Amino acid sequence: MSQAPPDRPLAAPPAPALGSPFDWIDAEARRRAAAGLVRTLRPRPAVPELLDLASNDYLGLTHHPDITAAAAGAARRWGAGATGSRLVTGTTELHAELERELAAFCGFEAALVFSSGYAANLAALTALSARGSLIVSDAGNHASIVDGCRLSRAETAVVPHADPDAVAKTLGAHPGRQALAVSDSVFSVDGDAAPLTGLAAACRAHGAALVVDDAHGLGVLGEGGRGALHAAGLAGDPDVVATLTLSKSLGSQGGAVLGPARVIEHLVNAARTFIFDTGLAPAAAGAALAGLRLLRGEPGLAGRARAVAATLHARLTAAGLTAVRPDAAVVSVRAPSPEQAVKWAADCRAEGLAVGCFRPPSVPDGISRLRLTARADLTESQVDQAVATILRTSPVAVS
- Note the residues at the interface with ligand PMP (CB under 6 A): 116-118, 121, 142, 144, 184, 188, 213, 215-216, 245, 247, 255
| Cβ pair 193, 215 in contact under 8 A | no
Residue 255: CB minimum distance to ligand PMP, A:
5
Residue 398: CB minimum distance to ligand PMP, A:
29
Would you say 118 or 347 has its CB closer to ligand PMP? 118
Residue 246: CB minimum distance to ligand PMP, A:
7
Would you say 55 or 385 has its CB closer to ligand PMP? 55
Residue 288: CB minimum distance to ligand PMP, A:
11
| DSSP 8-state class, residue 269 | H
Among candidate residues 64, 161, 216, 230, the one labeled active-site is 216
- CA–CA separation, 113 and 351 (whole Å): 40
| Calculated CA dihedral for residues 339, 344, 349, 353, nearest 10 degrees | -140
Per-position DSSP letters for 10-48, written without gaps between them:
SSPPPPPSSS-TTHHHHHHHHHHHHTT------PPPSS-
Residue 175: CB minimum distance to ligand PMP, A:
31
How do 330-334 and 255-259 pair as beta strands? unpaired
- CA–CA separation, 129 and 154 (whole Å): 6
Active site residue 337: no
Active site residue 216: yes
- Which residue is closest to ligand PMP by CB? 117
Residue 124: CB minimum distance to ligand PMP, A:
11
Among candidate residues 161, 206, 230, 248, the one labeled active-site is 248
Amino acid at 191: G
- Count of helices and strands (H, E) across the chain: 14, 11
| Cβ pair 264, 106 in contact under 8 A | no
Among candidate residues 2, 183, 188, 394, the one labeled active-site is 188
Would you say 192 or 213 has its CB closer to ligand PMP? 213
For residue 294, what are the contacts with CB-CB under 8 A and spacing of at least 6? 59, 61, 64, 66, 67, 301
Per-position DSSP letters for 329-365, written without gaps between them:
SEEEEE-SSHHHHHHHHHHHHHTTEEEEEE-TTSSTT
Asked whether the bond before 338 is cis by omega within 30 degrees of 0, the reply is no
Active site residue 248: yes
What residues act catalytically?
188, 216, 248
